[in-house]
A and B are shown apart, each in its own frame.
Chain A
Amino acid sequence: DSGVTQTPKHLITATGQRVTLRCSPRSGDLSVYWYQQSLDQGLQFLIQYYNGEERAKGNILERFSAQQFPDLHSELNLSSLELGDSALYFCASTDGYEQFFGPGTRLTVL
């Protein structure tokens, strides 16, 4: 158990819908990363937050947005979902030395 929690574990929804994925970092970690892993694209970095502020942006689509709240949990919002958005979404937190991944949310878009 890494100490990073993600909810929900699985999510099945239809095209065009909007979902919110939630991540709670390890206690004391200020930084949260979001990743998408699909079979054809591998692991892709989406976005990083540090203490509530966006720190770095990767291959995140305009339909996706994220934020980090004062209690340091983070949410990834995915809207106008397409079939190709089906993937595992991981978040990770870091203490500045190591990075700890959550168990992931498997999103299936039908």
Chain B
Amino acid sequence: EDKVVQSPLSLVVHEGDTVTLNCSYEVTNFRSLLWYKQEKKAPTFLFMLTSSGIEKKSGRLSSILDKKELFSILNITATQTGDSAIYLCAFISNDMRFGAGTRLTVKP
């Protein structure tokens, strides 16, 4: 059965730290992997990754996909308190499946 696992489940850091969030998957007919940030309500789209080894970057956030080892990482550098949120990854195959998320807390 297709599945996606995120780790860690929860992470507490201080402002200025760099964090790496992991998303591993097992899926047939993989098409793409997506990252979202969810604060209080609706998720906010971050990245869509379809090709292996190509880093996507947006400000302090970056992500990369490894289709051979079946994982993706989301990096956040120089974290700020506003980065505190749940980060979700999801893959798209014949449908779409979300991981349980990583809860990131950034302390001042």
Contact = CB atoms under 8 A, between A and B. Distances in A.
Interface in A47-89: 48, 56-59, 88
Contact of A101 (B44, B94, B99): B44
A43 interface: yes
Contacts of A102: 42
Contacts of B90: 43, 45
B42 A101 contact: yes
A99 interface: yes
A20 interface: no
B96 A56 contact: yes
Nearest to A58: B95
B100 interface: yes
B8 interface: no
Contacts of B88: 43
B48 A97 contact: yes
Contacts of B44: 101
A104 interface: yes
A43 B98 contact: yes
Interface string B85-102: 000101010111111110
A44 B88 CA distance: 12
B41 interface: yes
Interface of A: 2, 33, 42-45, 48, 56-59, 88, 90, 97-104
6 contacts: A33-B96, A42-B100, A43-B88, A43-B98, A43-B101, A101-B42
